[in-house]
Amino acid sequence: MLPLPPPLKILLAMAFVVGCWGYSPTGIHIGLRAYDPGHLALLRFLVASLFMAVIAVWRGISLPKLRDLPFLIALGFFAVSLHHVLLNFGQQGVSAGASSVLAQSTPIFSTLLARFVFKDRVSLWRWGCVLLGLIGVVIVVAGDKGLGSIDAHGVLILLAAVSWSVYFALQKHHTGRYDGLTLTCYSVWSGTLLLLVYMPGLADQVLKAPVEVQIAVMGLGVFPSALAYLAWAYVLAHVDLSRAAMFMYLIPPTAMLIASMALGEQPALMVIVGAMVVLVSVLALNLERRVVMLLKPSRAGSLPH
């Protein structure tokens, strides 16, 4: 059998990541049928931790430096513990499709963190994108259950996106210490350790959960929480982040399709409209540099053709 050419490998890895992360909202909804939000997060990442341990032994990773332990614990807290507990609680009252859209608002909150926490300069273009994205978020939350039934569940998913933004910000300001696999392993393991507060009562729920729920939770642990991160690391090793991020806009429609087939969800028109607004705002955030270059006058004083 002939080996696949590198471009095709990268494309397949990207498609795998989109499929895994598109499945996540549906897997969470199925898991919540038998598990409490905290127990679901813990079981999911116990599976992911064991899987990552096998990968770590196979590939070999370095031991963390003692001075980096607080940093690694912080990564685990924001990327795993806080993010997924908030996400699970939020999805108790939000559809899988709407949840996937709200979770994609991370770049919007990353911009707000950059300005108000890290004191970075934020352009007028980015402020416009943030405002547009927040409008889309309101449309999605309102359209999912109707204007009269807006509650805290959508806010919890937005807070989960904020938590993910903090994780990315910490990574950005502490780059170069570890490679992607090592950082992912220690983030997953430290986050799982923090989730052990939900250990009481977990065994009882495991014994009572139906088989289809167990399969869904195992899938959450292996695919979105472990294999997808490894595939994403492979993609980022061969493709620029800004280009790879474009594929992330396929996650909400993929999540809606999977939820439609597995859960029978039919997203409301307002959710679809809000999703388009959010994704356009995030796309515009990532295209800012290209737009600025197009609008920037050339040395001759004319716009480029």
Residue 117 belongs to what domain range?
6-295
User: In this structure, are residues 145 and 98 in contact, taking their beta carbons and an 8 Å threshold?
Assistant: no
What token pair was written down for 138? 């309101």
Quote the pLDDT of residue 48.
94
**Is 303 part of a structural domain of the chain?**
no
In a domain, 15, yes or no: yes
Residue 271 tokens read as 């959710």
Could you tell me how many residues make up the chain? 305
- Backbone dihedral angles phi then psi of residue 266, each to the nearest 5 degrees: -125, 105
How many other β-carbons are positioned within 10 Å of the β-carbon of residue 189?
Answer: 20
* 71 assigned to some structural domain: yes
Buried b (16+ CB within 10 A) or exposed e, 120-132: eeeeebbeebbeb
Could you state, in chain order, the average pLDDT of each consecutive group of 10 residues for the chain (305 residues)?
69 89 94 96 96 90 89 93 95 86 75 70 78 81 62 84 84 70 90 97 95 95 88 76 67 86 86 83 72 52 38
Give domain status of residue 46, yes or no.
yes
CA–CA dist 172, 240 (Å, integer):
15
> How far apart are the C-alpha atoms of 158 and 150, rounded to whole Å?
13
Residue 304 lies in a domain: no
What's the pLDDT tens digit per position in 211-231? 999 999 999 999 998 888 788
User: pLDDT value at position 148?
Assistant: 47
For the chain, the domain total comes to 1
Tens of pLDDT along 153-175? Answer: 888 988 998 898 888 778 766 65
Q: Which of 93, 84, 94, 100 is nearest to 39 (CA)?
A: 84
Predicted confidence at residue 280, as pLDDT, reads 85
127 is a domain residue: yes
Q: Is 62 helix (H, G, I), strand (E, B) or coil?
A: coil
Q: Is the torsion defined by CA of 119, 124, 130, 134 positive or negative?
A: positive
Residue 301 lies in a domain: no
Q: To 5 degrees, how large is the angle CA 275–CA 276–CA 281?
A: 100
Compute the distance between CA of residue 251 and CA of residue 233 in angstroms, rounded to an integer.
Answer: 17
Write the CB contacts of 180 (distance below 8 Å, at least 6 apart in sequence). Answer: 233, 236, 237
* pLDDT, position 289: 63
Q: Is residue 1 part of a domain?
A: no
